[in-house]
Amino acid sequence: DAMVIQNPRYQVTQFGKPVTLSCSQTLNHNVMYWYQQKSSQAPKLLFHYYDKDFNNEADTPDNFQSRRPNTSFCFLDIRSPGLGDAAMYLCATSRRTSVDIQYFGAGTRLSVL
């Protein structure tokens, strides 16, 4: 089945140690999104790629970076994780047509020790 796959499902890192989360999709969608969701809060958009064009949200910290080497893959890099970066990270994709439905992966839950 076509889907959005996030790896790993759970990630533990140390304070200040760089970490990379990955997302892949078989839907051939041109837009990929990264959201951060903290406990009992709504998902918050960090950035998205529209094809190769990177769109950063104004309040996304510089500590968060992203790469999209091809249509299928997108990575979230956290350069120096702090305790406040512990959260669920959700990847989503969409086709960006007149009917623009976002499809989400299962998420990666990040713990920072």
Partner 1 sequence: GIQVEQSPPDLILQEGANSTLRCNFSDSVNNLQWFHQNPWGQLINLFYIPSGTKQNGRLSATTVATERYSLLYISSSQTTDSGVYFCAVERRSGYSTLTFGKGTMLLVSP
Check residue 102 for interaction with partner 1 (CB under 8 A): yes
Say whether 9 sits in a helix, a strand or coil.
Answer: coil
Binder among 2, 3, 12, 101 for partner 1 (CB under 8 A): 101
Q: Please, are residues 44 and 34 in contact by the beta-carbon 8 Å criterion?
A: no
Binder among 11, 13, 65, 103 for partner 1 (CB under 8 A): 103
Binder among 19, 21, 24, 33 for partner 1 (CB under 8 A): 33
Q: Which is nearer to partner 1, 86 or 88 (CB)?
A: 88
- Give residues with Cβ within 8 angstroms of 43, minimum separation 6: 35, 36, 37, 90
Rg, C-alpha atoms of the chain: 13
What residue ranges bind partner 1 (CB under 8 A)? 33, 37, 41-45, 48, 88, 90, 92, 99-104, 106-107, 109
